[in-house]
Structure 1
Amino acid sequence: MLKVEGIDVFYGNIQALKNVSLTVEEKEIVTLIGANGAGKTTLLKTLSGLLRPTAGTIQYLGESIRVKPVQSIVKAGISHVPEGRRVFANMTVEENLDLGAYLRKDKKGIKQDLDKVFSLFPILHERRNQLSGTLSGGEQQMLAIGRALMAKPKLLLLDEPSMGLAPLLVKQIFNIIQEINKDGTTILLVEQNAHMALSIANRAYVIETGSVVLSGNASEMQNSEKVKEAYLGGI
């Protein structure tokens, strides 16, 4: 579904990604793990068109999306849930969700997907007329995921969905990620909580200082001495 080969990305003179390659197959959950500043968020921003690589290729469903504008990438079926939620604080929950479907014209389908989001996140239905800025961190994360789902993505890019959340909420969010995947959506997950990410992923990539240094099946990664030492607390 997604094939990235040899991409380089710079912020000014600073190289953030160095010769990064990865693949995501349809209906997989693939996770990217790595420390803060390793390049994980940069990679997702590049895939969604917010940043441009200076070298390499990005193929999605057999077509190059390397220079496509953001709206075309969304229309093609890639939705991005950014780090830090980024909900529109002065708009209601329902208005945020409506914005997620801004490129769609199928009113019946939009209504069905809104109902689906409300069934995944019942708390959002309860609070649909509430200003998003007044929601808790966990509720805002649910809203950010729900808003991305309203674009009807084939591939969902998730950036640190567990950040700042209590352990019980983290478990709930990860259960919902699995549910979204079982419903047919492919997921590329950036996550610092390596335990949780590897427990639900099919495959994983480890990024260090802008380069992919390890890749393999998630279960293999959990048993890798290097991954255990660096990201799983040595256990």
Structure 2
Amino acid sequence: MLRLENVTAHYGTIQALKGVSINVSEGEIVTVIGANGAGKTTLLKTLCGLVSATSGKVYFYDKDITNLPTSDIVAAGIVMVPEGRRIFPRMTVLENLQLGGYLNRNKSETKANMERVFELFPILKDRLHQIAGTLSGGEQQMLAIGRALMSRPKLLLLDEPSMGLAPKIVLSIFDIIRQINREGTTILLVEQNAQMALSTAHKAYVLETGRVVMEDTAEKLLHNEQVRKAYLGEA
């Protein structure tokens, strides 16, 4: 479904990605874990066209999408929920969701997509006309994911969905991520909470200073001694 081949990316003279190759198969949850500054967010931004790849290729269903405009990548079926949620705080919940579905001109499909969002996040229906910036952190994360789902993405990119949330809310968000996947959406998850990420994903990559240093099934990496010491806080 998604294939990166030796992708590099720079911020000015700083090389943030150094020959990254990953594969995401349809129906999977794939996670990328790593410390702050490892290049995880840059990886997602490069997939979305927000950061230009300086070399290498990105393929989506065998089509070269390297450095396409972000609007074209969204239209192809790849949507990102950014780190920090990035909702529109002065708009209502409804207006945020409507913006997420702006590419779809079919009113019945848009309505069905919104109903699906309400099934996943019933609280959003209760908050429909509330200003989004007044929502709690967990509700804002739900809105950010719901907004992304309004376009019925084939591949959902999640950047640090647990950031800044209470542990109970994190568990709820990850339960919903699993449900979204079970209903047919492929997910590429970037997450600093390695325990949650590896417990949720099918396959995992470990990124260090812009390079993939390890890849395996998520279950094997969850029990890998090196990973446990480096990312799970175990001596």
Give the TM-score band, short-chain normalised.
Answer: over 0.9
Instruction: Please state how far the C-alpha of 1:177 moved relative to its aligned partner.
Output: 0.1
**SS at 1:95's partner residue?**
helix
Task: Check if 1:148 corresponds to 2:148.
Answer: yes
Q: Which residue of structure 2 aligns with residue 213 of structure 1?
A: 213
- Which residue identity lines up with residue 193 of structure 2 in the other structure? N
Whether 1:173 aligns to 2:173 is: yes
CA distance in 2, matches of 1:17, 1:182: 31
How many pairs are equivalent? 235
Runs of 4+ in 1 over 4 A off after TM superposition: none
Q: Deviations over 1:157-194 (max 9, x none)?
A: 00000001001000000000000000000000000111
- For the aligned residue pairs, the C-alpha RMSD in angstroms reads 0.7
Q: What residue is the counterpart of 1:130 in the other structure?
A: 130
**Are 1:108 and 2:108 an aligned pair?**
yes
Question: Which residue identity lines up with residue 228 of structure 1 in the other structure?
Answer: R
Seq. identity, %: 61
Normalising by structure 1, we get a TM-score of: 0.99
Q: Which residue of 2 aligns with 1:187?
A: 187
Q: Does 1:69 align with 2:69?
A: yes
Q: Name the residue aligned to 1:36.
A: 36
SS in 2 for 1:54: strand
Q: Which runs of 5+ in 1 are unaligned?
A: none
Deviation at residue 55 of structure 1 after TM alignment: 0.4
3-state secondary structure, aligned to 2:52: coil
CA distance in 1, matches of 2:67, 2:169: 37
Q: Which amino acid aligns with 1:156?
A: L
1:134 Cα shift? 0.3
Match for residue 87 of structure 1? 87
Secondary structure at 1:57 match in 2 = strand
Runs of at least 5 residues in structure 2 that lack an aligned partner in the other structure: none
> Offset at 1:67?
2.4
Cross-structure match for 1:27: 27
Mapped to 2, the partners of 1:134 and 1:37 lie a distance apart of 30
**Map of 1:39-54 to 2, 5 A cutoff?**
39-54=39-54
Could you state the TM-score of these two structures normalised by the residue count of structure 2? 0.99
SS class of match (1:188): strand
